[in-house]
Structure 1
Amino acid sequence: MVGTPSVLASLSAGLREFYEAPYRRTMARARRDEDDLFTLVVLAEALGVPDPASYYTVEMLPLVADRVHEWHTRMGLDRSPLEHVSCC
């Protein structure tokens, strides 16, 4: 029967996949770029860049510390630019 909930749910899931699939990679790249910018802003003071918001971003360092290795390899750096964080 065409009006059953399982058929409609299946059709809805198929249409959602059809429309979202071409944009999934673009959205993942945009999310990764946004995360990289966030990491740079949080680590700016440790990198030697004067940051007027360092008072607020220092609270976020523990959230970013475990992702430093992924970030610096994506940025093309062989080693971590932070002397107190040695991940490699």
Structure 2
Amino acid sequence: MADKKFSFKKLMEYYDEVLSLPHRTEVARELRDEEDLFMLLIYSDMLGIPNPAFYYTLELYPHIIEKFHDWHLRMGMEKSPLEGIRCC
């Protein structure tokens, strides 16, 4: 009886994998786009775009500074646009 449950569980995992396979790139692209928008909102005040939530996002900088380099390269900026952050 335990073998049947184990094989059914494996079958369901395989079925789920087959259904989600074509959409993996779309999901990854959407997640990357959401992260890019979030980074733009976080650093918008430093880029000269007013950010009403600047005070609340200020404490997030130490956590996302490592991702900043990848973000500004994806946005088409060869060098860091921020004076205080030198990552290149």
| RMSD of aligned residue pairs (Cα, Å) | 1.4
- Structure 1 residue ranges without an equivalent (≥5): none
Between the two proteins, the alignment pairs up a number of residues equal to 87
Q: Does 1:72 align with 2:63?
A: no
Letter in 2 for 1:39: M
Question: Which residue is equivalent to 1:36?
Answer: 36
Following superposition, the deviation at residue 15 of structure 1 comes to 0.3
Give SS of 1:49's match. Answer: coil
Aligned partners of 1:73 and 1:24: how far apart in 2? 23
Following superposition, the deviation at residue 45 of structure 1 comes to 1.1
- Structure 2 residue ranges without an equivalent (≥5): none
For 1:9-88, list aligned pairs within 5 A.
9-88=9-88
Q: What is the TM-score when the length of structure 1 is the normalising length?
A: 0.91
What do the CA deviations read for 1:25-80 (whole angstroms, capped 9, x no partner)? 10000000000100010111111211111111112111221111000111111001
Q: What is the TM-score when the length of structure 2 is the normalising length?
A: 0.91
Give SS of 2:58's match. Answer: helix
